[in-house]
Amino acid sequence: MKSAKYLEQIKAKHGLSNDRQLALHLKKSTGTISQYMNGTRVMDDEMCLAIALDLGINPIEIVGAACIDRAEKSGQKSLWEVFMTRMAATASALLLCFSVNLFVTLEKAEAAPVLGYSHVDESENFILCKMTSRMKAWIPLKISAAMRTFFATFALQTAAS
């Protein structure tokens, strides 16, 4: 059962040695905790939220695991499995993009000669970003030096072509 691993994490976090201590910690009966652990009973949403608060993680992860367990118990395929794998794939793709951005972009000192600046001021933390062509609105965005360099380089490349 996917949701039982979170109960094991609570045991490890608080140094609980058995299901009885876990039941006292979560204010549930020992039988209920045993049923959660062996898969004869699936956690309800309130229990999932209590576990998420105790572990300090996103509750949707535990609720999703409980829904997957519920679907497996009834012999159906859960949509939560598809959702969780897509969410994991999206998170890993975003992490990859941000990590590449951090390592590939030039630092201020390297970017200044390329962009034709003799000095890059530390106080320049804002750029204007056009939201859409329909709205014709510009908003200030706070960005890092690496992103500021990226936008400036992109603007020069676009203007040159």
Q: Which long-range contacts (CB under 8 A, 24 or more apart) does 127-135 make?
A: 127/151
What is the pLDDT confidence band of residue 11, given thresholds at 50, 70 and 90? Answer: very high
Structure confidence by residue, pLDDT tens digits, 128-140: 444 444 444 444 4
Would you list the domain boundaries of the chain? Answer: 4-93, 108-160
Average pLDDT of span 32-57: 89
Q: Which architecture characterizes domain 4-93 according to CATH?
A: Orthogonal Bundle (1.10)
Structure confidence by residue, pLDDT tens digits, 65-76: 888 787 777 776
